[in-house]
Chains A and B, each alone.
Chain A
Amino acid sequence: MRQTIVRNVAELPTYGYGPRSGPWWGAMGFMALEGMGFAIAIGAYLYLYAVNPNWPIGAAPPDLWPGTAEVAVYLLSIIPNEITNRAAHRQDLAKVRVGLIVMAVIGTALLVLRGFEFAHLNTRWDNSAYGSIVWLILGLHTTHLATDVGDTIVLAVLMFTRHAKPRRFSDVTDNVFYWNFVVLAWLPLYVLLDWVPRL
């Protein structure tokens, strides 16, 4: 087939931010399917809650302080996360490095807090269906948290190497974006795990 050139795209940029870029949509896709996973797990929790006359089953509700402390840290973490985001958009390497280190430290602190939360659930996974679903949901969110912290650490290291090129700033903004999802996912789970058993 004969080709007729009707347009030249040579002047277009080679990377972009947000909905212009491909990886951003990939992150959206994974958030949607992981969000669906959370929704299904919440549905399973509420189903078991509905069919059991006593809830929680044979256990006290989880101690409130670890989950509540996490909520506070998560919400506050949005600030350095957003600062990192803006620095990445400005391609300010020094600030991005600091931002990623701060976020990695916050993430690690949350993993430690998460350890306390497991210890203060007041039930084991094999005690009852209540214990099982609580451990499953917390485990699911912990996997997300750990994955994102791992990703943040790797990205932080990367930004100290010769690979810290302009297109990596787009990766940083995607990492920031995903962290917001981890925070957002935690809020309903906190209400579900820590407050529904107190109803």
Chain B
Amino acid sequence: MSIAAEPREIRDDVLNGLQLSTQLERVWRTPSGWTGALTSVDHKVVGRRYIVTAFAFLLLGGILAILMRVQLAGPEKTFLSADKYNQIFTMHGSTMMFLFAVPVMEAFAVYLVPLMVGTRNIAFPRLNAFSYWMFLFGGCFLWISFALNVGPDVGWFAYVPLSSLQYTPTKRPDVWAQMITFTEVAALAVAVEIIVTVFKLRAPGMTLDRIPLFVWAMLITAFLVMFAMPSVMVASTSLILDRLVNTRFYDSSSGGHPLLWQHLFWFFGHPEVYIIFIPGTGMVSAILATFARRPVVGYPVVILSLIATGFLSFGLWVHHMFVTGLPQLGAGLFTASSMLIAVPSGLQIFCWLATLWDGRPVYRTPLLFVIGFIVIFVLGGLSGVMVASVPIDTQVHDTYFVVAHFHYVLIGGAVFPLIGAVYYWFPKITGRMLSESLGRWNFWLAFIGFNVAFFPMHILGLIGMPRRVYTYTANMDWAHLNLLSSGGALVFALSFALLLVNVIYSLRKGELAGDNPWSASTLEWATSSPPPPQNFDRIPVVKHRDPLWADSMSLPVVAGLSAERREVLLTSLAEAEPQIREASPEPSIWPLLTAIATTVFFIGSIFTPWAVLWGTPPMAVALIGWFWPTGSREDEE
């Protein structure tokens, strides 16, 4: 039973070079074929799937946006019926928020964080696989329901009483509520994985003040997910209970209260904006440092700003409810906190500008997207400060001004950095560069298309066009601006088509990237592109915040980990001192089986409450299968 009694295993300190690489690859690789595809627990495989799936949902959500813009391009068009339009704007919002924006950010974290902190796999790799399957099944559930004309039609926020059984006696809101449960389970799982990966799996020497800014951003995002998402799970569960077993949470005739829904939803919904935006800032910091050729100015300022943003984001949800008749003191307080959050965001912007100012900027595509981000996000931030004020908000509430505002913030704050990140990390993930000339076209089409599509919406909102209307009459004088906006939307869509072309073309014909094509400073660039299954042949030792700039020729490493089985190095929370050589799980089919059992449970419970009873045993069996030791050596020490 004791370790000493076993024959001494081969460690990475007795092997070298190709011998070591081959041996570790054999241990860490995902089996080929279907078995491998369904059982993989490699964070890179899961991360890639997560990214591709999230982009597939972006494509679907984008097609819906174009359909809406076609319908609204002129007055009294009959391209879409009112009912279809309601489903489409609900599907667009729900898809973009729950199936694209949050998952794609977590997907990048799943892929990059373990590489950036210098370890071999994410913490809890099986939970990671489970999370992906839950996300995939939840997204498919929503879209298959939509294809069967059971797509939700009550807005991405599903306000009661509209979403109550009385006013929507179909299954549509149930589909929405249960899709929420799927995606929140997936997001919460990734949040725990990221936190533990950053806390315990950092390379030796990567003290708290040497963690890359992108990793800091993802860590703070994970905490936001952890504290915000339970609220929407309580909300969606109580909504579905009201609809299925006659609870009375939102029934005002039995002591329930419709505004309780808004509080629960926005207590999640506002931090959600920062769950999407903060990873964007992490991408911006990573890209800026590389292309300005110097570290980001004010490293501690940026981190403290992110933390401050995280805390403040929980204190402004009520600004979504200014027209619900709040006490004046409450409205004043939430106006103040909504304006306050502009301060840490502003500090970061100044740090980035200072970085560009003091650096020697190289204007490649990723940096172009970052500059686009700064321009668009600042505009969105300014209209945000406007709507934080109660009198202005009361005027423009539920108008296209708000639609313009949040698209500036979300697309500017998250999608532009994200596309920049695609150009930046594509070489690492695939081993090939994206085309630079197509990239420049991509950026300019996106920048111009976006602004032409969304800037006119500010004006449309100010002259009174309400949100969520499927058409309007000619005498409202909204036609020209709407046509302009629809034209811009097409150009914006074209930019994404170009990105897709670039990706497909470059996957085959792109220039080979090499390990570190941008001469960047963080650890993911210290390994090959794409990284081998074991990420690093030996775990790096970090002595500098920008390790590859401090010494670009040689990498200090630790030795002594097993070369016969999967092992990762756990280090202490603050100082990253090595503590434990811990086993890392092998591929397993159980996460998939657990996800299938959970899916049956979730979908079944929409149709009968008894699904909670008969759906539980399969889940329990799958979980026991998951955790039961397999008898392999790492399980038996």
A interface, CB within 8 angstroms of B:
1-16, 19-22, 25-26, 29-30, 32-34, 36-37, 40-41, 44, 47-48, 51-52, 57, 125-133, 135-136, 150, 154, 158, 163, 165-167
Would A9 and B557 be within 8 Å (CB), given that A37-B230, A125-B247 are in contact? no
CB distance from B66 to the nearest CB of A (A): 37
Please pick, from A19, A21, A37, the residue contacting B233 in the complex, using a CB distance under 8 A: A37
Q: Is the CB of B561 within 8 A of A9?
A: yes
CA distance A11 to B3 in the complex (A): 11
CA distance A15 to B631 in the complex (A): 17
Please pick, from A14, A128, A133, the residue contacting B581 in the complex, using a CB distance under 8 A: A14
Please pick, from A1, A33, A136, the residue contacting B241 in the complex, using a CB distance under 8 A: A136
Would A126 and B245 be within 8 Å (CB), given that A9-B581, A10-B13, A19-B573 are in contact? yes
Chain B contact residues: helix, strand, loop or mixed: mixed
B36 at the interface (CB under 8 A from A): no
Q: Is the CB of A30 within 8 A of B192?
A: yes
Q: Is the CB of A26 within 8 A of B123?
A: yes
Tell me the chain B residues, 539-583 only, with Cβ under 8 Å from chain A: 541, 553-561, 567, 569-570, 572-573, 578-583
Q: Is the CB of B123 within 8 A of A125?
A: no
Q: Is the CB of B233 within 8 A of A132?
A: no
Q: Is the CB of B248 within 8 A of A128?
A: yes
Q: Is the CB of B192 within 8 A of A9?
A: no
Q: Is the CB of B637 within 8 A of A36?
A: no
Q: Is the CB of A7 within 8 A of B226?
A: no
CA distance A14 to B264 in the complex (A): 43
Interface size on B, residues (CB 8 A): 74
CA distance A165 to B567 in the complex (A): 18
In the bound complex, residues from chain A placing their C-beta under 8 Å from that of B241 are 125, 132, 136
B246 at the interface (CB under 8 A from A): yes
Q: Is the CB of B627 within 8 A of A154?
A: yes
Taking CB as reference atom, which chain B residue is nearest A140? B234
User: Could you list 11 examples of A-B contacts with CB < 8 Å?
Assistant: A4-B555, A5-B557, A22-B582, A29-B192, A29-B226, A36-B230, A51-B257, A129-B249, A132-B238, A136-B238, A165-B635
In the bound complex, residues from chain B placing their C-beta under 8 Å from that of A9 are 558-561, 569, 578, 581
B260 at the interface (CB under 8 A from A): yes
Taking CB as reference atom, which chain A residue is nearest B124? A26
The stretch that binds A, out of B196-204, B352-360, B380-388, is B196-204
Please pick, from B1, B196, B204, B579, the residue contacting A16 in the complex, using a CB distance under 8 A: B579
CB distance from B161 to the nearest CB of A (A): 14
B346 at the interface (CB under 8 A from A): no
CB distance from A169 to the nearest CB of B (A): 11
Would A2 and B554 be within 8 Å (CB), given that A26-B196, A32-B226 are in contact? yes
In the bound complex, residues from chain A placing their C-beta under 8 Å from that of B578 are 7, 9, 12
Would A47 and B637 be within 8 Å (CB), given that A9-B578, A21-B582, A40-B264 are in contact? no
In the bound complex, residues from chain A placing their C-beta under 8 Å from that of B3 are 14
B398 at the interface (CB under 8 A from A): no
B229 at the interface (CB under 8 A from A): yes
Would A131 and B248 be within 8 Å (CB), given that A9-B569, A21-B582 are in contact? yes
Would A12 and B560 be within 8 Å (CB), given that A33-B188, A167-B637 are in contact? yes
In the bound complex, residues from chain B placing their C-beta under 8 Å from that of A7 are 204, 541, 558-560, 578
Please pick, from A1, A34, A44, A131, the residue contacting B554 in the complex, using a CB distance under 8 A: A1
In the bound complex, residues from chain B placing their C-beta under 8 Å from that of A167 are 583, 635, 637
Taking CB as reference atom, which chain A residue is nearest B578? A9
Taking CB as reference atom, which chain B residue is nearest A171? B627
Taking CB as reference atom, which chain A residue is nearest B3? A14
Please pick, from A25, A32, A40, A158, the residue contacting B200 in the complex, using a CB distance under 8 A: A25
Q: Is the CB of B192 within 8 A of A33?
A: yes
Q: Is the CB of A40 within 8 A of B230?
A: yes
